[in-house]
Structure 1
Amino acid sequence: MSLPDTAPRAGATPPAPNSPAGRSVPLEPFNKSVALSLGVELELQLVNTHDYDLAPYAEDMLRLMAQTPLPGSVVPEMTSSMIEISTDICHSAKDVVAQLTPIRDALVKNADKLNIAVVGGGTHAFQQWHERRIYDKPRFRELSELYGYLSKQFTIFGQHVHIGCPDADGALLMLHRMSRYIPHFIALSASSPFVQGQDTQFDSARLNSVFAFPLAGRAPFTLSWKEFGNYFERMTRTGVVRSMKDFYWDIRPKPEFGTIEIRVFDTPLTVERAAALAGYVQSLAAWFLQEQPFTPCEDDYLVYTYNRFQACRFGLDAVYVDPASGEHMPLRDHILMTMTQLEWHSEALDATQALALLRTSVEANRNDARWLRERQARERLLAEVVRQSALRFRKG
């Protein structure tokens, strides 16, 4: 998960750029985008091939990747054992995998030249945060000054999915509808059971690190871009916020792209699963746009934190509380019920194969966290688990 570009320096929070302290900053206009278009970002681990610990090779990898024409982009992240890849604008899950695959292949080829490996997953299984190096970039040094050891502990790895929205008010409606499905996204992508060499008993321990940062959690409830703009101006007036990137919400609007950005996914172990998750988001968005299945309200958030915790802790074995009825049911059942509701939309979007991949794993009660635990139970050596994860990323 990317830290904001515009974080304040240590000490007092400075005012927004070109703005005196105490003066609000208007929210930028919401740009047009193609409804249901997609964009995917993946944060990835760089590990050595000696003991499979994280390796500070981001600069070398970026230099090699710059020599190969590819879709999207490859950029550094907070610490020097991380990189982030992203797609260009896509229109289907198949587009996503078609763009991620050559990027993945180039990463693997260049990693071989450096005698390192590239790995998915939401956390590295046994790295020690104090050994990490902040990537040598002004904004990362600034963030390190402000957040101290949290900056190195933020060596965690997420997938972000952007979905194009037809207009600004529609983006907020989409955001709050998607919020009901945050537990789905967490459980389906969960791949971070191990931290600092220990089984955390969470399927997604990564999100616990996110909560350490200010303005994490959920967006304020409003379905009007004008009201949201008023909120943004009030927040900038306090000096706490300088841009949308200062919000760490699970889902946030991205007005410059004309999208909402869903940020709770752990990075999957394969690009195929990453594309499938994007197809699931797109199918949900199509359902919302075409059928208007429900109108979100503030009361939806009464159980939001509970549902979120359940999914992080128990993955597909979580309990899901329906915010409208209060009914408790297995999260696995709610996901399968939702996938059945989406069948027509996924077919129209050519996402049938993507949802079938996810459905098969849900029916088998399997996600990447389960795969990692099974490997550790068999091997009893986390370095070997990371090595096998690197092989899985290479092939999938």
Structure 2
Amino acid sequence: MSPLDNPPSPFSPPTAEPTRAQREADARVVPLEPFRSSKALSLGVELELQLVNTHDYDLAPYAEDMLRGMAQFDLRGSVVPEMTSSMIEISTDVCHSAEEVLQQLGPLRDALVKVAGKLNIAVLGGGTHAFQQWHEQRIYDKPRFRQLSELYGYLSKQFTIFGQHVHVGCPDADSALLMLHRMSRYIPHFIALSASSPYVQGQDTQFDSARLNSVFAFPLSGRAPFTLSWKEFEGYFARMTRTGVVKSMKDFYWDIRPKPEYGTIEIRVFDTPLTVERAASLAGYVQTLAAYFLQEQPFVPSEDDYLVYTYNRFQACRFGLDAVYVDPATGEHMPLREHILRTMTMLEPHAAVLDATRAFGRLRSSVEASQNDARWLRERQGRERLLAEVVRQAAERFRTPVG
């Protein structure tokens, strides 16, 4: 057939060679790695911790020395540097219960305390250091951290903040996205239960979790785009890498993000608690929620869930357990504390199956007493009137196992 037998429509744009800019953009496209199947409800926990001197309890740049000292211990999990040299991160191997998380975090804590003692420094939790000055911090000498410092400027040093990340295993990619968006309704729970950052540079911010205000300054923070299809998510990732703004999933600072290389979703809004026991309890809470989602399929999330997302997140950061929670499904307003307690009651059967009853008990008693770590820090400051003494007591609390 001759081309003249089927001439092009006059409304069809002429076919053109891609421009140089288009070719360069296409070359930047990075395919998202396949989602690795993992055991459903498996857990992994990461804790970013503060290193302080024992003279005035300000942050101290001892990460390199701590890493050398920890290398002598043969422990499950890992210890790695973080953005600035007054921080260190510990993480568990794959766990299957809150009790197993604690069995790994406890020896890591004990080893950290031993090494820190030899260096005349201390280790502690908490989402922010109470009085450090960000401009005094040093970026840890690692290529990725140097690149981030060049890109984000002073925000990199202001990122001397300390969070807990919880990974929960998902059987497949679409299940992971469904889990991620279901979990989004409970982000205020996670913030209020873990809040431990009321002080920034010597000031009471009036927030229970001021740490997250530093995270929100980053351009790729916030919430993940809404889709329940991994194929659609791969398309989104390809478009983002085509812009050159994103090169890997690490470039997204979302509250929850998928981690395809692990087969998990990673929840990132927790402040680092003051004890590893509370960290393990929070992981148990996440796991029990995930079991409820998988076994009961309680609701299908939608984009409308995010109408009140930012408001609920702000309330939890600002007021902690005293926040107001707006139910995205019904619009009902209620005390966040009441919503958490209702949820815990609903989840108790799942907690029993997962060996999370003790973890639930620890969390529930603190909610009923309106206590979180932010309130503990404020109470100590009200009594001591000296933030350095509050930091010293927080370090003592971290090193002492909870009975």
Q: Give me the TM-score of the superposition, normalised by structure 2.
A: 0.93
1:146 is displaced (CA, Å) by 1.2
Pick from 331, 338, 343 the counterpart of residue 336 of structure 2.
331
Correspondence 1:351-370 to 2 at 5 A: 351-370=356-375
1:267 is displaced (CA, Å) by 0.1
1:314 is displaced (CA, Å) by 0.1
Pick from 9, 25, 31 the counterpart of residue 21 of structure 1.
25
1:338 is displaced (CA, Å) by 0.2
Q: Is 1:31–1:258's contact at 8 Å kept on the other side of the alignment?
A: yes
Partner AA of 1:250 in structure 2: D
2:185 equivalent to 1:180: yes
Give the corresponding residue for 1:105.
110
Q: Is 1:180–1:300's contact at 8 Å kept on the other side of the alignment?
A: yes
SS at match of 2:165: strand
Give the corresponding residue for 2:140.
135
Pick from 149, 157, 181 the counterpart of residue 144 of structure 1.
149
Give the corresponding residue for 1:279.
284
SS at match of 1:169: helix
Give the corresponding residue for 1:88.
93
Pick from 121, 127, 133 the counterpart of residue 122 of structure 1.
127
Pick from 300, 305, 318 the counterpart of residue 295 of structure 1.
300
SS at match of 2:88: strand
Correspondence 1:98-247 to 2 at 5 A: 98-247=103-252
Correspondence 1:242-257 to 2 at 5 A: 242-257=247-262
1:215 is displaced (CA, Å) by 1.0
SS at match of 2:25: coil
Correspondence 1:43-54 to 2 at 5 A: 43-54=48-59
Whole-angstrom distance in 2 between the partners of 1:178 and 1:41: 18
Q: Is 1:22–1:239's contact at 8 Å kept on the other side of the alignment?
A: no
Whole-angstrom distance in 1 between the partners of 2:276 and 2:174: 32
1:25 is displaced (CA, Å) by 2.0
Task: Report which of the two structures shows the higher radius of gyration computed on alpha carbons.
Answer: 2
CA deviation map 1:92-133 (0-9, x unaligned): 000000000000000000000000000100000000001101
CA deviation map 1:249-301 (0-9, x unaligned): 00000000000000000000000000000000000000000001111010000
CA deviation map 1:186-205 (0-9, x unaligned): 00000000000000000000
Whole-angstrom distance in 1 between the partners of 2:323 and 2:268: 20
1:144 is displaced (CA, Å) by 1.1
Whole-angstrom distance in 1 between the partners of 2:113 and 2:347: 35
Whole-angstrom distance in 2 between the partners of 1:138 and 1:161: 25
Partner AA of 2:25 in structure 1: A
Whole-angstrom distance in 2 between the partners of 1:43 and 1:255: 22
1:21 is displaced (CA, Å) by 3.4
Pick from 76, 81, 85 the counterpart of residue 71 of structure 1.
76
Whole-angstrom distance in 1 between the partners of 2:302 and 2:375: 34
Q: Give me the TM-score of the superposition, normalised by structure 1.
A: 0.95
Whole-angstrom distance in 1 between the partners of 2:218 and 2:250: 13
Q: Is 1:38–1:92's contact at 8 Å kept on the other side of the alignment?
A: yes
1:20 is displaced (CA, Å) by 4.2
SS at match of 1:232: helix
Whole-angstrom distance in 1 between the partners of 2:179 and 2:144: 31
Partner AA of 1:274 in structure 2: A
SS at match of 1:181: helix
Partner AA of 1:359 in structure 2: R
SS at match of 2:69: helix
Partner AA of 2:364 in structure 1: R
Whole-angstrom distance in 2 between the partners of 1:142 and 1:285: 35
Whole-angstrom distance in 1 between the partners of 2:304 and 2:30: 30
Whole-angstrom distance in 2 between the partners of 1:92 and 1:138: 35
Identity score, percent: 84
Give the corresponding residue for 1:62.
67
Whole-angstrom distance in 2 between the partners of 1:47 and 1:281: 30
RMSD value, Cα = 1.0
Q: Number of matched residues?
A: 379
Whole-angstrom distance in 2 between the partners of 1:40 and 1:332: 25
Partner AA of 2:391 in structure 1: V
Correspondence 1:263-274 to 2 at 5 A: 263-274=268-279
1:22 is displaced (CA, Å) by 3.7
Partner AA of 2:282 in structure 1: L
1:142 is displaced (CA, Å) by 1.6
